[in-house]
Structure 1
Amino acid sequence: MKNIMIAGAGVLGSQIAYQTALSGFNVSVYNHHIDTAERRIKALKSDYERDLHLTDKEFQQGLDNIKVITDDIATAVKDADLMIEALPESLELKEQFYEEVSGLAPEKTIFASNSSTFIPSQLAPYTDRPEKFLNMHFANQIWKFNVVEIMGTSQTSPEVIEEATKFAREIKMVPVILNKEQHGYILNSLLIPLLASGLSLWAKGVADPAMIDKDWMISTGAPMGPFGILDMVGLRTAAQIERNAYAQTKDESHKEIADKMEQMIQEGHEGKESGQGFYNYPNPAFMDPDFLKH
Structure 2
Amino acid sequence: LEEAARDADFVIEAAVEVLDVKRRIFADLDRIAPDHAILATNSSALVSSLIADVTNRPSKVLNTHYFNPALVMKLVEVVKGPHVSDETAEIAYQLCEKLDKVPVLIKKEVEGFLLNRIFRAISREAQWMLEMGVASVEDIDKACVYGAGHPMGPFRLNDLTGIDLTYTMAMEKFRATGDRAELPSPSVVEKYVLGHYGEKTGKGWYDYSEK
Q: Normalized against structure 1, the TM-score is what?
A: 0.65
Which residue in 1 is equivalent to 2:206?
279
How does 1:66-77 map onto structure 2 within 5 Å?
73-77=1-5
Match of 1:251 among 181, 199, 203: 181
Q: Give, as a single letter, the amino acid of the residue that structure 2 aligns with 1:219.
A: G
Secondary structure at the residue paired with 1:149?
strand
Give CA deviations for 1:4-34 in whole Å, capped at 9, x if unaligned. xxxxxxxxxxxxxxxxxxxxxxxxxxxxxxx
How does 1:47-126 map onto structure 2 within 5 Å?
73-126=1-54
Which residue in 1 is equivalent to 2:190?
260
Which residue in 2 is equivalent to 1:61?
none
Match of 1:198 among 101, 108, 126: 126
In 1: Cα distance, 2:150 partner to 2:83 partner: 39
Residue pair 1:119, 1:182 contacting (<8 A) in 2 also: yes
Residue pair 1:147, 1:173 contacting (<8 A) in 2 also: yes
Percent of aligned pairs sharing the same letter: 30
Give CA deviations for 1:175-210 in whole Å, capped at 9, x if unaligned. 101222121111112111111222233344443321
Give CA deviations for 1:29-79 in whole Å, capped at 9, x if unaligned. xxxxxxxxxxxxxxxxxxxxxxxxxxxxxxxxxxxxxxxxxxxx2122111
Q: Give, as a single letter, the amino acid of the residue that structure 2 aligns with 1:250.
A: R
Aligned-residue RMSD, C-alpha? 2.2
Residue pair 2:65, 2:78 contacting (<8 A) in 1 also: yes
Structure 2 gap segments, 5+ residues each: none
Secondary structure at the residue paired with 1:76?
helix
Residue pair 2:62, 2:79 contacting (<8 A) in 1 also: yes
Larger Rg over CA atoms: 1
In 2: Cα distance, 1:273 partner to 1:254 partner: 20
Q: Normalized against structure 2, the TM-score is what?
A: 0.88
CA separation of 1:252 and 1:178: change in aligned 2, threshold 3 A: closer
Residue pair 1:227, 1:278 contacting (<8 A) in 2 also: yes
